[in-house]
């Protein structure tokens, strides 16, 4: 095994605890998932995964939805957005660079709207019913719809980071406790 091969292992394959892996999976959730799904992704058994998930719910890091046939867990999307905005602020990029990136993302969406004469990712998915499309074009449109949704989420977060640039500035002086 070469040095590159030994360093190429995924984070999930490194020495982590089951709880660490559950937390890693949860941080990446973009839609509600069951405890079984999360346990499978984390490579850990159901019961300890469920205990970790319940602790995360108690700590307001996750939300639990019991309204469906299966209980699902999903992150606090506001917390995720705030953390991502803080990462953007702390990343070393300037507000001008983020503003340029925001413009690029919006331009890409405008290009797709013009190319397909539609207004949303779901309208693009609706064009897949066209019998004249070949398999490659169907795959391309599916991928564009996914990317479009991703860019819409990124636009919101980057826009928030730009609007709140000064507020998100890291503090170097600890806040004084009021007495």
For residues 57-63, average pLDDT: 91
Q: Tell me if 151 is assigned to some domain.
A: yes
Token reading at 137: 């074009």
3-state SS, residue 72 = strand
Domain encompassing residue 147: 79-163
As a whole number of angstroms, the distance between CA 142 and CA 170 comes to 39
pLDDT tens per residue across span 96-131: 999 999 999 999 999 999 999 999 999 999 999 999
Q: Tell me if 129 is assigned to some domain.
A: yes
For residues 143-166, average pLDDT: 93
Q: Provide the number of structural domains found in the chain.
A: 2
The Cβ of residue 121 has, within 10 Å, a number of other Cβ atoms equal to 21
User: Are both 114 and 156 inside the same structural domain?
Assistant: yes
Residue where one domain finishes, among candidates 57, 75, 93: 75
Q: Tell me if 176 is assigned to some domain.
A: no
As a whole number of angstroms, the distance between CA 58 and CA 25 comes to 18
Confidence check: pLDDT of 161 > 90: yes
Q: Which residues of 83-119 are buried (b: 16+ CB within 10 A; e: fewer)?
A: ebbeebbeeeeeeeebeebbeebeeebeebeeeeebe
Q: Tell me if 56 is assigned to some domain.
A: yes
pLDDT, residue 9, reads 47
Q: Tell me if 87 is assigned to some domain.
A: yes
User: Are both 132 and 90 inside the same structural domain?
Assistant: yes
Q: Tell me if 140 is assigned to some domain.
A: yes
Confidence check: pLDDT of 10 > 60: no
* Mean residue pLDDT across the chain: 88
Q: Please, which pLDDT band fits residue 2 given cuts at 50, 70 and 90? A: very low
User: Are both 88 and 117 inside the same structural domain?
Assistant: yes
For residues 3-25, average pLDDT: 68
Of 155 and 80, more confident: 155
């Amino acid at each position: 095994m070469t040095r590159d091969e030994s360093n190429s292992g995924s984070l999930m394959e490194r020495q982590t605890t089951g709880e660490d892996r559950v937390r890693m999976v949860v941080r990446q959730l973009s839609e509600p998932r069951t405890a079984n799904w999360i346990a499978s992704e984390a490579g850990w058994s159901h019961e300890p995964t469920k205990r970790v998930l319940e602790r995360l719910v108690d700590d307001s890091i996750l939300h639990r939805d019991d309204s469906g046939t299966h209980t699902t867990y999903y992150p606090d999307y506001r917390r995720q957005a705030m953390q991502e905005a803080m990462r953007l602020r702390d990343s070393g990029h300037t507000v001008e660079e983020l503003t340029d990136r925001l413009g690029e993302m919006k331009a890409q969406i405008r290009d797709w709207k013009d190319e397909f004469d539609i207004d949303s990712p779901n309208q693009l998915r609706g064009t897949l019913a066209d019998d004249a499309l070949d398999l490659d074009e169907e795959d391309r449109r599916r991928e564009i719809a996914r990317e479009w949704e991703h860019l819409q989420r990124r636009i919101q977060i980057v826009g928030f980071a730009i609007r709140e640039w000064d507020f998100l500035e890291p503090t170097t002086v600890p806040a004084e406790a009021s007495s």
